[in-house]
Amino acid sequence: MLRLKTSLLWLLVLVTAHVTEGAGRPRQRLKLSEDEELVWGSRDHTTSLRSRKTSSPETAAGPEPGDAAAAFKVPTLDGEFSYQPGAVRGSLVIHAFTNKSGFLECLWSSEASLFSLVQDLPERTQVLFVSLDESAVSDALWMREQLQRAAMHRKEVLSRLHFSPVPVFALGNWIPRVLYYWGCMGINCGLTQAVFTSEGWNMPVIVKRLDARYDWLMGRWGQGSYQLIDAGDGCDPSPSVAGAVAWVSEGRCSFFVKVQSMAKSNASGVLVYALPGNPIQDMNCVGEECYSPLRIPAAMVHLEPSVTQALLSAQKINVSFQTTPSPNFFIGIDQQGVLSEMGWFLYPTFSFINWQAQWFNFYADLQMKLENPVKNVSVFDKVQMQGQKGAVATVDLPLGLLDFDTLELDASLSCPGRRDVSCAPWDHTVQLFVCCDQLSPYCNMELGRWITAFRRGIGRWLTDVSPLIPLLDSNKCTFTMKTVPWAMPWIVSLNLRFSVSNQTGDRLRPFRVMSLFSGGTFDKNYNKRYQPIKFPVPASTKKVELFAVITGHGSDENGCGEFCVTSHHFLINAVFNNTHTFDSAGTALGCAMQVTGGAVPNEHGTWLYGRGGWCDGLQVNPWRTDITKQLDMTGFESNTVIYFGLFDGQDPNPSQQPGYIIMSSFLVFYK
């Protein structure tokens, strides 16, 4: 069985090289998740899950995510920060700094990172900064100075940033307990280190390191020890590094050129050291460089005099790589005063604080919306969804269904345990099917679709599916919600919210739907499978709408359909070309931009990239277009509709592993 083990996390890296012609092409996209399915059934794995279970809430010694945050006070550089449940209007993020982490050093040194915090911290959010170390006073002063400098043009934000000079181990409240008890798992958490050994030394020299950007290099450090060989600035090939880790200085050429020339020299990895006085940086490729895949790992460290010394005197040095567990660096408290994990910070930028805070705002607004009076029908209340069957429930619907013109799905996906580590690791499609009458043509049509988050259990979404009310053609309906049978379990809740959008005026209500096309394999025959559909408009129809839920999946050589730009066309009466294009598929932050709309942030995988019509941890928004004016409404003449899907404006024509489109599409008739 394939087993990839690093000290603290299970990683699977699937490579989807995305190369298309033309300007503005998206760079290659890696798909990465903290994977458990790969090692499913292995003894180690069972043990590790079991040990996690024993530390779950029943026997737990501390607050868990989802518990209420108790009041606390912390001295700050300006006086005191006091948290009283209910008194804070927005959310609060607590960040514990330690300069023992290369990731945190970079987070706090990178101008782009600092700037993102002062520029984009959502308005209702405050941040409390503390230090884990004895140096808390100077750390607090330094952190404040870093942010004051970055906030030159947005001073307002500084009033929401609080810096404590008291180290975490002296806080005397519950914060240390949560930081220690939650601990740190996964990417950029814990203390990643390089360990140098040499025969002449009594002790290993252990330094912090920051690995190159998670989605740039395809190599990962092995468990063993590598020889360390000096390769100057690493800008030119150097045959002596073959099989060893190259020790190279920052500067003269880009990180890419260094790693590329060392890879050409058959090095096993690259350690770039910062020049004296410089901080550790986030090593990454830039622009065109990102199209050349490199297959060795690399990391950045500080210059270590004893290492330089030993190399100068031709002493042999070995290096190995480890992660020492640490307290957590982040705690969130949402608008309702509930403790929350902050998820993975994939690379060193404060944007991850902003994204989590945006989500707190989204969630607070959602709570408000859920207080609107509606006819609320519970379908699933924390039901496990797993396997072929999924989650199934038969429920009674309210009488007089046709009086309602609005139906929203209130769905949430949480995990078997209270921590994100108990959540399923992969992003899978979840579909909700409904059948109210076995004999009805509407039986088992799709009512809603979501994509699961990579290992985060906070998602909750409200999806307007009003046009599909006619699918509920009886007062007792069976709902089935499921994902792929091999996915680890999710805990689902689903409420149907029926309401009337408009108390006055002529309300148009959907009274009939007609199922159109579904998707399929996105290959050269994709469009050959579709035939025009003829339809008359039923009498007394006032409006006709096209309603489609379309998502692209899989990965051919162009990244289709997950990471390529596909367009979907519904041609009405051979003239009207109704087009839906997934413009943000493959973009670096396409899905990060959807956090304000409810996409789960900071997932344990590559959730940031734009996708073909979807995001991880989000509902799939139905696409709706009014086509009334494109139709012959007399009811005598037949209208036609034909669908086709294109990649880059052309029929798809992949040479390998074609992707696929999942689609349900309807015409909706209103009167």
Contact residues for ligand NAG, defined by CB under 6 A: 99, 105, 142, 197, 199, 225-227, 239, 242, 265-266, 302, 318, 370, 376, 378, 381, 495, 501-502, 504-505, 507-508, 569, 571, 577, 579, 646, 649
From 194, 213, 214, 216, select the one nearest 205 (Cα to Cα). Answer: 194
Minimum CB distance to ligand NAG, residue 89 (Å): 22
CA distances from 274 to 19, 229, 304 (A): 33, 17, 10
Cβ–Cβ under 8 Å, residues 475 and 438: no
- Where are the strands (E) in 426-529, listed by range? 429-435, 445-451, 459-464, 476-482, 490-499, 510-521
By beta-carbon proximity to ligand NAG, the closer residue of 497 and 604 is 497
Closer to ligand NAG by CB, 401 or 508: give it. 508
Which position's Cβ is nearest ligand NAG? 505
Is the CB of residue 455 less than 8 Å from the CB of residue 424?
yes
Q: Write the single-letter amino acid at 274.
A: A
- Interatomic CA distance for residues 643 and 472, integer angstroms: 26
Q: From CA 176, how far away is CA 63, in angstroms rounded?
A: 11
Region label for 129, one of left (φ > 0), alpha (ψ between -120 and 50) or beta (otherwise): beta
**Alpha carbons 544 and 578: distance in angstroms, whole number:** 13
Is 46 or 501 the residue whose CB approaches ligand NAG more closely?
501
Identify which of residues 404 and 490 has a Cβ nearer to ligand NAG in the complex: 404
CA angle (356, 360, 366) in 5-degree steps: 140
Pairing of β 125-131 and β 161-167:
parallel
Closest separation in Å from C-beta 246 to ligand NAG: 12
Nearest approach, Cβ of residue 173 and ligand NAG (Å): 24
**Residue 362 CA neighbour count, 13 Å, CB half:** 21
CB nearer to ligand NAG: give 102 or 122: 102
Q: Which lies closer to ligand NAG via its Cβ, residue 88 or residue 401?
A: 401
Rounded to a whole number of angstroms, the minimum distance from the CB of residue 423 to ligand NAG is 22
CA distance 612 to 113: 28
Which is nearer to ligand NAG, 48 or 376 (by Cβ)? Answer: 376
Shortest reach from residue 108's CB to ligand NAG, in Å: 7
What minimum distance in Å lies between the beta carbon of 577 and ligand NAG? Answer: 4
CB of 373 to ligand NAG, least distance (A): 9
**Residues 6 or more apart from 577 whose CB is under 8 A from it?**
569, 571
Q: Name the minimum Å distance from CB 3 to ligand NAG.
A: 22
Smaller CB separation from ligand NAG, 460 or 604: 460
